[in-house]
Amino acid sequence: MMVGHNMELLAPTGGPEQLRAAVRFGADAVYLAGRRWGMRARATNFDDDELQEAVAYAHAHGVSVHVTLNTLMFDEDTDELPAYLRLLDEAGVDAVIVADLGALLLAREHAPHVAVHVSTQVSVTNAQAALEYAKLGASRIVLAREMTLDRIAELHRRVGDAIELEAFAHGAMCVAVSGRCLLSSALVGPERSASCGNCTQPCRWTWSLVEETRPNLPMKLEADEHGSYILSANDLCMLEHLDELAHAGVASIKIEGRNKGAYYVAAVVNAYRHVLDGENPASWLGELEATSHRPFSTGFFFGNPTQNPGHAEYARDRLLVAVAQGSSPAAGGWVTEVVCRNKAGVGDKISVLAPGHPVRHFVLGEVERLMPEEGWQPAECLSVNMERYRFQTPFALSEGDMLCR
């Protein structure tokens, strides 16, 4: 069993629901974006008012907030950034993540109380570059994903305490160097640029080799019944290697996934929280396997990563069916009220994800639905999204616990 570590656990929050899940399940910090300048433009994200509310909510729970400003910056962007940076400063944002030198300098000028972190998009892979960014006022480097553990350790030895090191530890990987890819904009158009946060993920498409004089004879590049996915990288999972990351000098481990739902955020944060606090990784790997993911790998940390061996479909063993609103005592157990998210029927095995607990299970029994006029009425199953239901559980659930099948 590993010893607990003090590495920061940094969680993705693509919207308010994911924010609440990340905070509740043990994140030390979250990263999110406003309506512009984030690398996940298709996430829900936060408008100005929502962002200020998010900072207040996170801070009330002892969680810091990092805001992404790491897209390509053109002149019109840097013209508009100062006002937004002042808003972030006034809101109490803890750090901004930048990938542009101009954005870094503007952040130091217009958000003097906000730390500056240098994005993985910059591809920092050596101590000299890290130290130069430190001179410019950056307090942290988000390391290039192409770094091995040995190289991270050497970079840390050279920079010492001059600047913190952050590394991605879990989530989707990209075929391009640190995510700087032209495929999406080349194939779909400049409005779907990966470097502006609007990637269509063509690396996940099925690709074939075509000889010029035989355009009607595409050839698979891998013998697989699903096609070829030679550009589609496996997902990253370093749950079993947090000791190595800590020993290499990593101060913060980052989970990728701002396009993911609240259950994914909760499940992954929960697993890493338990292992960071000293529990055996083997006890939590199964929970990561139950989330939506491609085959796992250790990325570049121990050498070149493996590509997806053919079939690019996500594996997923669990579906979020409801979010608990709380329980009250009843004969033989508890009556638990939930808000429905997906269908579940009587007799289904339900798994419960709750902070501070191992994953618990029960079989769904009789169900009642809250009707506007009639009150609680018998129902055949959980079926209507965002409607309230109740049923008996063998243990009490707290508001925000997640029920899956």
Q: Report the C-alpha gap between 391 and 336 in whole angstroms.
A: 6
Ordered by where they begin, the domains of the chain are 8-176+232-297 (3.20.20.70), 178-220 (no CATH), 320-404 (2.40.30.10)
Q: How far apart are CA 195 and CA 32, in angstroms?
A: 17
Q: What is the pLDDT of residues 86-131, one digit of tens each?
A: 999 999 999 999 999 999 999 999 999 999 999 999 999 999 999 9
End-to-end CA distance of the chain: 29
pLDDT over 70 (residue 226): no
pLDDT at 346: 96
The Cα 12–Cα 2 span in angstroms is: 25
Tell me which residue of 327, 326, 359, 363 sits closest to 344, measured CA to CA.
Answer: 363
Q: What is the pLDDT of residue 1?
A: 44
Burial annotation 44-56 (CB, 10 A radius, 16+ → b, else e): bbbeeebbbebbe
On the question of pLDDT at 168 being above 50, the answer is yes
Q: What is the pTM of this model?
A: 0.86
pLDDT surpasses 50 at 200: yes
Query: Has residue 174 got a pLDDT over 80?
Result: no
Q: What pLDDT, in 10s, does the model give residues 24-82? A: 999 999 999 998 887 666 667 899 999 999 999 999 999 999 999 988 899 999 999 99
How confident is residue 250, by pLDDT bands cut at 50, 70 and 90? very high
Instruction: Please write the tens of the pLDDT for every residue from 146-160.
Output: 899 999 999 999 999
Q: In the prediction, which pLDDT does 317 show?
A: 74
State residue 292's pLDDT score. Answer: 86
% of the chain exceeding 70 in pLDDT: 87
| pLDDT given for residue 41 in this prediction | 65
pLDDT of residue 223: 47
d(CA 247, CA 236): 19
pLDDT exceeds 70 at position 186: no
Mean pLDDT of the residues in the chain: 89
| pLDDT surpassing 60 at residue 311 | no
Alpha-carbon distance of 241 to 167, in angstroms, equals 13
